[in-house]
Amino acid sequence: MAEKIGGLHIQYYAVCKRKLWLYSKQISFETEHERVIEGTLLHENSYKRKDKELMVDEYAKIDVLDSDYIQETKLSSKMQKVDELQLLYYLYLLKKRGIEKRGKIAYTKEKKVIEVTLDEEKETMIKKTIAEVYKIIDQEYAPKLKKLSYCKSCAYYDFCFSIEDGEEDAT
Protein backbone atom coordinates (compact mmCIF):
# COMPACT_ATOMS: atom_id res chain seq x y z
CA MET A 1 0.00 0.00 0.00
CA ALA A 2 1.27 3.49 -0.84
CA GLU A 3 2.72 5.51 2.02
CA LYS A 4 0.31 8.11 3.34
CA ILE A 5 1.38 11.65 2.66
CA GLY A 6 0.77 14.65 4.89
CA GLY A 7 1.09 18.39 4.76
CA LEU A 8 4.86 18.32 5.22
CA HIS A 9 5.33 16.07 2.19
CA ILE A 10 3.47 18.64 0.11
CA GLN A 11 5.43 21.55 1.62
CA TYR A 12 8.75 19.87 0.99
CA TYR A 13 7.75 18.92 -2.54
CA ALA A 14 7.21 22.62 -3.24
CA VAL A 15 10.42 23.69 -1.52
CA CYS A 16 12.91 21.00 -2.55
CA LYS A 17 12.39 17.52 -4.04
CA ARG A 18 15.50 16.27 -2.29
CA LYS A 19 14.16 17.42 1.08
CA LEU A 20 10.93 15.57 0.37
CA TRP A 21 12.83 12.37 -0.38
CA LEU A 22 15.02 12.65 2.75
CA TYR A 23 11.97 13.33 4.92
CA SER A 24 10.11 10.37 3.43
CA LYS A 25 13.00 8.11 4.43
CA GLN A 26 12.67 9.43 7.99
CA ILE A 27 16.05 11.09 7.86
CA SER A 28 15.35 13.99 10.15
CA PHE A 29 17.43 16.86 11.49
CA GLU A 30 14.64 19.27 12.26
CA THR A 31 15.38 21.82 14.90
CA GLU A 32 13.11 24.10 16.84
CA HIS A 33 14.07 27.16 14.87
CA GLU A 34 13.09 25.73 11.51
CA ARG A 35 10.22 27.48 9.78
CA VAL A 36 7.99 24.40 9.72
CA ILE A 37 8.39 24.01 13.45
CA GLU A 38 7.61 27.67 13.99
CA GLY A 39 4.41 26.94 12.14
CA THR A 40 3.66 24.12 14.53
CA LEU A 41 4.39 26.28 17.58
CA LEU A 42 2.03 28.91 16.26
CA HIS A 43 -0.77 26.46 16.89
CA GLU A 44 -0.52 27.32 20.56
CA ASN A 45 -1.22 31.01 19.91
CA SER A 46 -3.51 30.84 16.96
CA TYR A 47 -4.52 34.08 15.38
CA LYS A 48 -8.14 33.22 15.71
CA ARG A 49 -9.57 30.50 17.88
CA LYS A 50 -10.34 27.34 15.97
CA ASP A 51 -13.16 24.96 16.75
CA LYS A 52 -11.28 21.66 16.47
CA GLU A 53 -8.60 19.68 14.76
CA LEU A 54 -9.23 16.90 12.30
CA MET A 55 -6.69 14.14 11.70
CA VAL A 56 -6.82 12.68 8.19
CA ASP A 57 -4.83 9.54 7.40
CA GLU A 58 -2.82 10.05 10.62
CA TYR A 59 -0.55 12.51 8.78
CA ALA A 60 -2.62 15.56 8.02
CA LYS A 61 -3.70 17.60 11.04
CA ILE A 62 -6.28 20.10 9.88
CA ASP A 63 -7.51 23.03 11.95
CA VAL A 64 -11.21 23.56 11.51
CA LEU A 65 -12.00 27.23 12.02
CA ASP A 66 -15.77 27.06 11.68
CA SER A 67 -18.46 25.35 9.61
CA ASP A 68 -17.13 26.92 6.37
CA TYR A 69 -13.37 27.20 6.79
CA ILE A 70 -10.23 25.35 7.70
CA GLN A 71 -7.22 27.44 8.64
CA GLU A 72 -3.44 27.35 8.67
CA THR A 73 -1.51 29.80 10.82
CA LYS A 74 1.95 30.85 9.66
CA LEU A 75 4.52 33.34 10.80
CA SER A 76 5.05 35.20 7.53
CA SER A 77 3.95 35.02 3.92
CA LYS A 78 7.50 34.50 2.65
CA MET A 79 6.48 31.10 1.30
CA GLN A 80 2.87 31.85 0.47
CA LYS A 81 2.78 29.61 -2.62
CA VAL A 82 3.99 26.67 -0.53
CA ASP A 83 1.43 27.44 2.19
CA GLU A 84 -1.35 27.60 -0.38
CA LEU A 85 -0.36 24.26 -1.86
CA GLN A 86 -0.46 22.62 1.57
CA LEU A 87 -3.90 24.07 2.33
CA LEU A 88 -5.22 23.02 -1.08
CA TYR A 89 -4.04 19.51 -0.29
CA TYR A 90 -6.03 19.56 2.96
CA LEU A 91 -9.10 20.87 1.16
CA TYR A 92 -8.71 18.06 -1.36
CA LEU A 93 -8.38 15.40 1.39
CA LEU A 94 -11.59 16.69 2.97
CA LYS A 95 -13.42 16.87 -0.37
CA LYS A 96 -12.57 13.23 -1.04
CA ARG A 97 -14.34 12.45 2.24
CA GLY A 98 -17.42 14.45 1.25
CA ILE A 99 -16.53 17.57 3.28
CA GLU A 100 -16.45 20.75 1.20
CA LYS A 101 -14.73 23.69 2.86
CA ARG A 102 -12.72 26.76 1.99
CA GLY A 103 -9.37 27.68 3.46
CA LYS A 104 -7.79 30.62 5.20
CA ILE A 105 -4.13 31.24 5.90
CA ALA A 106 -3.43 33.64 8.77
CA TYR A 107 -0.02 35.33 8.73
CA THR A 108 0.68 36.53 12.23
CA LYS A 109 3.64 38.83 11.53
CA GLU A 110 1.87 40.76 8.78
CA LYS A 111 -1.51 40.39 10.47
CA LYS A 112 -3.15 39.37 7.23
CA VAL A 113 -5.44 36.55 6.21
CA ILE A 114 -5.76 35.14 2.69
CA GLU A 115 -8.44 32.85 1.32
CA VAL A 116 -7.78 29.66 -0.61
CA THR A 117 -10.41 27.87 -2.67
CA LEU A 118 -10.18 24.45 -4.27
CA ASP A 119 -11.62 25.00 -7.73
CA GLU A 120 -11.45 22.53 -10.61
CA GLU A 121 -8.13 23.78 -11.90
CA LYS A 122 -6.50 23.68 -8.45
CA GLU A 123 -7.87 20.20 -7.84
CA THR A 124 -6.24 18.97 -11.05
CA MET A 125 -3.01 20.60 -9.96
CA ILE A 126 -3.16 18.98 -6.50
CA LYS A 127 -3.80 15.53 -8.01
CA LYS A 128 -0.76 16.00 -10.23
CA THR A 129 1.29 17.15 -7.22
CA ILE A 130 0.27 14.07 -5.20
CA ALA A 131 1.28 11.78 -8.09
CA GLU A 132 4.65 13.55 -8.31
CA VAL A 133 5.19 13.27 -4.55
CA TYR A 134 4.69 9.51 -4.76
CA LYS A 135 7.03 9.29 -7.72
CA ILE A 136 9.78 11.08 -5.79
CA ILE A 137 9.43 9.14 -2.54
CA ASP A 138 9.44 5.86 -4.47
CA GLN A 139 12.82 6.65 -6.02
CA GLU A 140 15.67 4.50 -4.80
CA TYR A 141 18.07 7.42 -4.48
CA ALA A 142 17.70 11.03 -3.35
CA PRO A 143 17.20 13.62 -6.09
CA LYS A 144 20.45 15.29 -7.06
CA LEU A 145 21.61 18.13 -4.84
CA LYS A 146 20.94 21.62 -6.15
CA LYS A 147 21.86 24.68 -4.17
CA LEU A 148 18.76 26.77 -3.48
CA SER A 149 18.38 30.06 -1.67
CA TYR A 150 16.31 28.14 0.88
CA CYS A 151 19.18 25.73 1.71
CA LYS A 152 20.70 27.90 4.45
CA SER A 153 17.51 27.74 6.50
CA CYS A 154 16.98 24.01 5.84
CA ALA A 155 17.54 21.46 8.59
CA TYR A 156 19.31 19.20 6.05
CA TYR A 157 21.91 21.83 5.18
CA ASP A 158 24.84 20.20 6.97
CA PHE A 159 23.81 16.79 5.75
CA CYS A 160 23.59 17.91 2.12
CA PHE A 161 26.65 20.09 1.97
CA SER A 162 29.03 18.00 4.00
CA ILE A 163 28.65 14.97 1.73
CA GLU A 164 28.80 16.46 -1.72
CA ASP A 165 29.24 19.73 -3.56
CA GLY A 166 26.01 21.24 -4.71
CA GLU A 167 25.56 22.74 -8.10
CA GLU A 168 24.04 26.21 -8.29
CA ASP A 169 20.42 26.21 -9.33
CA ALA A 170 19.99 28.61 -12.19
CA THR A 171 16.25 29.04 -11.55
**Chain positions contacting ligand SF4, by CB under 6 A:** 16, 18-19, 22, 145, 148, 150-151, 154, 156-157, 160
Of the pair 11, 71, the CB lying nearest ligand SF4 is at 11
We find the least distance from the C-beta atom of residue 30 to ligand SF4, in angstroms, to be 11
Q: How far is CA 15 from CA 71, 111, 128, in A?
A: 21, 24, 16
Of the pair 54, 148, the CB lying nearest ligand SF4 is at 148
We find the least distance from the C-beta atom of residue 54 to ligand SF4, in angstroms, to be 29
We find the least distance from the C-beta atom of residue 18 to ligand SF4, in angstroms, to be 4
Of the pair 25, 127, the CB lying nearest ligand SF4 is at 25
Of the pair 24, 129, the CB lying nearest ligand SF4 is at 24
Work out the end-to-end distance of the chain between its first and last CA atoms, rounded to an integer number of angstroms: 35
